[in-house]
Structure 1
Amino acid sequence: MEPRAFAVLCLLVEHRHRVVSKKELLDAVWKGETVTDAALATTLRTVRLAIGDTGRDQRFIRTVHRRGYQFVAPTAAAQSAAGTAGAVGEGEAPAWSRDVTRFCRTADGTRIAWAVTGAGAPLVRTANWLSQMDLERTVPAFAHWFEGLTRGRRLIRYDERGYGLSDRTTGFALEEWMEDLDAVVDAAGLGRFPLLGISQGGALGVAYAALRPERVSRLVLNAAYARGQLARARDAAERDAAHLDLKLTLAGWHAQNHSYQRFFGAQFFAGSAPHRWDEYMSFQQRSVSAAGGARFLEEQSRLDVSDLAGRVRCPTLIVHSRDDPRVPVSQARELAELIPDSRLVLLEGSNHLLTGDEPAWPRFLDEMYAFLAEDGPDPG
């Protein structure tokens, strides 16, 4: 946990006999800084995830409406080796709720943040737009991915250069993203492993499997494409639409225009309530600068791995929502035609990024785990 989250937990445990008000938490932990209630709510979600609690279960931290928060789990005083007393909560957080975050360096010296969650055979997830490892667990739209991807698996994920906890460099190109992935799997000590690519991370997964065939045992692609929006534009009208999409997104980002921001967020969660769009946009703005986001979006729109797709030799599973508004289902069909040993599964739904409360989510997990099990245990 980050220091502030740990300080919040310690304060709640220390005063577990009573409700601790929001003001008291803000005064004690943020020490006079001007912060919003949203900052406290985000920190509390971080604490709950770290100790295996949720806002629904509240087995450890109870929200008392209009009053504050109270630590309610059973505790016992324990003597440390130095003879000092401390509070120890009962129960242990599940493996998927615990991360070990590390840092490695690429061949060109860029520092990349990566994390390991869970235990078992490895599953590497390529980075995609966007990630920030210390924030992802606090966003309800992403929380289910951790439990879902670590069922008997050791999930390895990372922040690409330019955003998140990795170096905020200016490099945004496929070759540099390949270097980031190289550095992470080398640091994790992996030989051959299954690779999961989501959205833009799918294009990276295709390129990596084609150019590093000795490393990728199986490839899983979700909401992926071979060609970005500009690269696949067939005429002037489609090119104009791609440029307009980029301009509207950047205008909303720079001007903090709520309607423009919702336009972009709705493309990722078309089948979800508007609050999910706002939540996603807030996460993006915290993960990367507006200038970095602009560079990344433009490079992403020009990506084209269609030539490399035909060189992928490992078994490949392609899963896509039929009504995905961000990446049309035609892109999934194109990938299935280009990759020789591939199978295509279409899901009912209109979310670009799958949510935990839609029927497509358990179907995706079932298809993925059945596919990964066909080779038996991965050597890692």
Structure 2
Amino acid sequence: MRYEFADCVLDVDRHVLLRGGENVSVEPQVFDLLELLAENPGKLVAREEIIERVWNGRFVSDSTISARIAAARRAVGDDGKAQRIIRTIVRRGLQMAADVTCETDAGSSGDSQTQRLQYARSTEGYAVPYTLFGEGRHVLRIGSVVHDLEAEWRIPSERTRLQDMASRFRLLRYNKDHGVSSNNDHQAVYDKRIDEILSVTQAAGFDRFSILGEMGGTFPALHFAVRHPERVEKLVISGGWAEGRDHRDDAQLPDSIRTLIAEGWNTPGSGYAMGAEFSYFPEGPLESVRHMVDEMQALYSSEERLLYRDIANRTSILHLLSQVQCPTLVLHGRRTAVHPLSEARKLAAGIPKASLVILETANQIPLPGNDAYGVYIQTLQSFLEAED
């Protein structure tokens, strides 16, 4: 992991700080403080979080904390008066004031491929992470099995899908959750997502572009397309749904996925957790689903997963469909069970310029190794590259 900011490079794997290309010697606690701030650009990092990370939660005096902050500023060429890079939020904590670019290793595959995390600024001033790679038509991709760009990149099947897309398009990848699980005002959440999409597309130089919304990414994609039709050339909805389970005929039946999550999500490697995710990807491949579950269990508690499930069950997008103005492609598996083909038909029937392509799979979206995967990628490319 490498973080670049101002004229500095913080290489976490090598435990090296460079400034202007020169090695800067720092003690371990100062390095840990810089790493914590670089991980959270633009965010307030509270004093309690600093103590927990740098001093493992032990009691530490104010003078000791101040000394480490001063040392960190000196190391990156900053000072307490200028605060160009490390900003003090009085009585609350610190903030990384400089823009940060992050380069992460591709993971356990052993290759040297990397992704570069970049950060846009929202209108509220916080950092919004995104990645940008590939050449060709501009495509914004929203949605994934995980709401974390780094975790997604560590999943080999997801990394392969992203690389396949980037070999065909200029792929802007944005996927961020903002407390949807704890916020009942869903429109306020979507308003925030729209603001972030505007921020990352502006930072990436995307003026007019297509959107690929996968699974839960369907909803911010549709909200943005309706709110900003002048920005959206085409829309692809893959593995999405028009109405959640609570609006369907089987709403009164027990929710087996919710039961699996409640019974075993907090147990690493649990068969219950695997069962919950296999509901979305019954055709696997097994190892791909296992990687997904490992990353998701590290990111989300069972309470968070249950809340996400409840929100998916309650959500309906029917009221927006007739307002979508751009050509739209709906891609969906014929034998999907969690969000069945009937939901894709609702989407295609409700959007004026939509067409539906049915994929021969039971997975919510095809994964590398599925027979339908090649058709999925080729159909996506053909639609997005076709002239209107």
TM-score bracket, shorter-length normalisation:
0.5 to 0.7
Paired residues for 1:170-249 under 5 Å:
171=183, 173-230=189-246, 232-234=247-249, 237-242=250-255, 244-249=256-261
C-alpha distance in structure 2 between counterparts of 1:44 and 1:189, whole Å: 25
Q: Does 1:141 align with 2:140?
A: no
C-alpha distance in structure 2 between counterparts of 1:320 and 1:233, whole Å: 18
Q: Does 1:264 align with 2:326?
A: no
Q: Does 1:45 align with 2:107?
A: yes
**Residues 245/47 of structure 1: CA separation in 2 closer, same or farther (3 Å cut):** closer
C-alpha distance in structure 1 between counterparts of 2:240 and 2:224, whole Å: 14
Q: Tell me the TM-score normalised to structure 1 length.
A: 0.68
Judge conservation of contact 2:138–2:172 (CA < 8 Å) in 1.
yes
Judge conservation of contact 1:269–1:276 (CA < 8 Å) in 2.
no
Judge conservation of contact 1:112–1:159 (CA < 8 Å) in 2.
no
The CA deviation string for residues 25-70 of structure 1, in whole angstroms up to 9 with x for no partner, is xxxxxxxxxxxxxxxxx97835734x2xxxxxxxxxxxxxxxxxxx
**Residues 246/119 of structure 1: CA separation in 2 closer, same or farther (3 Å cut):** same
**Residues 303/120 of structure 1: CA separation in 2 closer, same or farther (3 Å cut):** same
Judge conservation of contact 1:162–1:292 (CA < 8 Å) in 2.
no
Q: Does 1:252 align with 2:244?
A: no
C-alpha distance in structure 2 between counterparts of 1:169 and 1:229, whole Å: 17
Identity %, equivalent residues: 22
C-alpha distance in structure 1 between counterparts of 2:336 and 2:13, whole Å: 36
Judge conservation of contact 1:114–1:184 (CA < 8 Å) in 2.
yes
Aligned length: 290
Q: Does 1:299 align with 2:299?
A: no
Q: What's the counterpart of residue 146 of structure 2? A: 130
Structure 1 stretches lacking a partner, 5+ long: 8-41, 52-96
**Residues 47/330 of structure 1: CA separation in 2 closer, same or farther (3 Å cut):** closer
| 3-state DSSP of counterpart to 1:182 | helix
C-alpha distance in structure 2 between counterparts of 1:170 and 1:111, whole Å: 21
Q: What's the counterpart of residue 324 of structure 2? A: 312
CA root-mean-square deviation:
3.0
Judge conservation of contact 1:251–1:257 (CA < 8 Å) in 2.
no
| Amino acid paired to 1:364 | Y
Distance apart, 1:289 and its partner CA: 4.2
C-alpha distance in structure 2 between counterparts of 1:321 and 1:169, whole Å: 27
| Amino acid paired to 1:45 | G
Distance apart, 1:239 and its partner CA: 3.9
**Residues 229/110 of structure 1: CA separation in 2 closer, same or farther (3 Å cut):** farther
Structure 2 stretches lacking a partner, 5+ long: 3-10, 16-103
C-alpha distance in structure 2 between counterparts of 1:298 and 1:176, whole Å: 20
| Amino acid paired to 1:233 | R
Q: 1:330 aligns with which of 328, 333, 342?
A: 342
Judge conservation of contact 2:214–2:238 (CA < 8 Å) in 1.
yes
Q: Does 1:121 align with 2:134?
A: no
Distance apart, 1:313 and its partner CA: 0.9
C-alpha distance in structure 1 between counterparts of 2:145 and 2:274, whole Å: 17
Judge conservation of contact 2:285–2:369 (CA < 8 Å) in 1.
no
